[in-house]
Amino acid sequence: MNSAAPFDTLNQLKFDNRVNRSLPVDPSEINTTRQVHGACVSRVLPENVIAPHLVAASAEMLEVLNLAPEEAQNPEFAEVFSGNKQLEGMDPYAWCYGGHQFGNWAGQLGDGRAINLGEVINRQGEHWVLQLKGAGMTPYSRMADGLAVMRSSVREFLCSEAMHHLGVPTTRALSLVSTGEQVMRDMFYNGNAREEPGAVVCRMAPSFIRFGNFEIHASRKENDILRQLTTFVINSEFSELGDPATSAHPQAIYIRWFNEVCRRTADLMVHWMRVGFVHGVMNTDNMSILGLTIDYGPYGWLENFDLGWTPNTTDASGKRYCYGNQPQIGMWNINRLANAIYPLIGEVEPLEEAIRSYSDRFNQGQREMMAQKLGFAQWREGDDDLISGVVALLQMVETDMTLFYRMLSKVDKQESGVDADLELLQSCFYDDAYKNDTYKDALKRWLDSYRQRLLDDNFENVDRKQGMDLVNPKYVLRNYLAQIAIDKAEAGDYSEVKKLLDVMRKPYEEQPGLEQYAEKRPLWAMNRPGCSMLSCSS
């Protein structure tokens, strides 16, 4: 937005609410947990809280809404984004959706602790849904209370913004508000429930529609609603594909749309693998139809490189959603979406072809991404051996993935000796195992091949480093950093939340004086709850 343009106040926000205007709405507005049939959404109001207080707000998302930074300091801001007050034009609702959870159909799920306040149209003509997470019960809350705690809210707020600045498609976060109330939670579902400070995050996205939105109506054979929903999504978010409602061949538009969803999902998986992000709970109800990272629950960042690592205690035994499985789970979820929209198309082959395109798109994207991480001008035949070699090397000893790739950009393309290389890379290792002869020999062999490949590209060291540093972040939201911020926030000190928000705005820059935010996991955090494993509890 032009900095000279006047800012709006909260009360000047313009709401459209095309969801409630265009799709079937639950006729009952009684906010009780129940099965909702024949509707896409249910109207519901957030619960009031006793003492809303702004913890932090995203300056970038305030600007997207054409709001001045000072508007967040207005006491009304905390009232609105805790759920205590609705602005004129808001028409709050919760989505009905289903999903496959850990590979099994779970039936109706829905927005159990998310309430969409409404859809803002900013001066640029963009549509942004404002969604409160943790603002109370909805008809889809099942056995839960619809609330959220500071612990999970800090993690969602910070990671939403951190991922955006890493260049990863994601929902965004506008604000984090403490409620002044206590919420009972059993963090690891082990019978040790305790009261924790409550909080509400306001998330933003063009749409929060998921794969599960289509699955629920397909499972109930509500094909007319399925068609309405799919047409609405295409016209709202993929309008360049054409309008199925007026087309003589709507099936062709549905197929083109499904291909686009496959493409975006494949690209998202490439990004997750690039930065070492592990979502932790890739159920189909947590897959965005826009190819965004959505629902930051028990996520984690790879610290020591481990293809089998999962941050989710519920997934600890099966490791279905571990780091290395994410691309194939993305494809599995795409298959579930294909099954859901099949009634609109009536043909298997075009859906299967689109699913194959997901695999092709991911494989090509992964190769190109790894070539960039390694500092090559582009991927070429023969690079697969170097790529598989560095993946094997990372697993030989406990190696910090983020630091390794960042330090690799400093390796001179001329031979400097394995001891010099180890001295350069030593900050990447978690113990002294890298000093053994087996690892040193493997590192030397790989670096010899790597250097030869760099000589073939004929880049100067400084140019290669500059390119690598644009795709290999120095700063990521490490699990222990988030936990430090949580510990302080639970005690009423929000300074570290704001500090991390600022640091994560520039993940690829050096940021002199802030190097401590780029350090590898300390020993105290190795098995600390919140730093190593988490549950879906929030």
Is 25 in the same domain as 132? Answer: yes
Residue-wise pLDDT for 464-506, tens only, equals 999 999 999 999 999 999 999 999 999 999 999 999 999 999 9
**CA–CA distances in Å: residue 81 to residues 12, 119, 180, 202, 382:** 15, 14, 14, 6, 53
Question: Domain boundary residue among 372, 389, 405?
Answer: 372
- The CA angle 227-229-231, to the nearest 5 degrees, is 65
- 412 lies in some domain: yes
Is 399 in the same domain as 358? Answer: no
pLDDT at 537: 54
CA atoms of 143 and 49, how far apart (whole Å)? 20
How does residue 349 score in pLDDT terms, banded at 50, 70 and 90?
A: very high
Is 31 in the same domain as 176? Answer: yes
- 50 lies in some domain: yes
Residue-wise pLDDT for 132-151, tens only, equals 999 999 999 988 899 999 99
CA atoms of 237 and 259, how far apart (whole Å)? 14
Entry pTM:
0.96
Domain count, the chain: 3
**CA–CA distances in Å: residue 359 to residues 256, 337, 468:** 17, 15, 26
Is 155 in the same domain as 45? Answer: yes
- 482 lies in some domain: no
pLDDT at 526: 86
Question: Domain boundary residue among 468, 497, 525?
Answer: 468
- 71 lies in some domain: yes
CA atoms of 368 and 62, how far apart (whole Å)? 35
- 512 lies in some domain: no
How does residue 221 score in pLDDT terms, banded at 50, 70 and 90?
A: very high
CA atoms of 402 and 410, how far apart (whole Å)? 14
pLDDT, mean of residues 31-57: 97
Is 283 in the same domain as 328? Answer: yes
Question: Domain boundary residue among 440, 468, 496?
Answer: 468
pLDDT at 188: 63
Residue-wise pLDDT for 66-95, tens only, equals 999 999 999 999 999 999 999 999 999 999
Is 367 in the same domain as 379? Answer: no
Residue 269 has pLDDT above 60, yes or no: yes
Domain span at 346 = 217-372
pLDDT, mean of residues 323-345: 98
Is 367 in the same domain as 390? Answer: no
Bridge partners (DSSP) of residue 399 are 429
Active site residues: 285
pLDDT at 356: 97
How does residue 5 score in pLDDT terms, banded at 50, 70 and 90?
A: low
Residue 22 has pLDDT above 80, yes or no: yes
Is 103 in the same domain as 117? Answer: yes
pLDDT, mean of residues 34-42: 98
Average pLDDT, the chain: 95
- 67 lies in some domain: yes
Is 340 in the same domain as 396? Answer: no
Is 337 in the same domain as 391? Answer: no
Is 204 in the same domain as 342? Answer: no
- 425 lies in some domain: yes
- 78 lies in some domain: yes
Is 68 in the same domain as 170? Answer: yes
pLDDT, mean of residues 244-270: 98
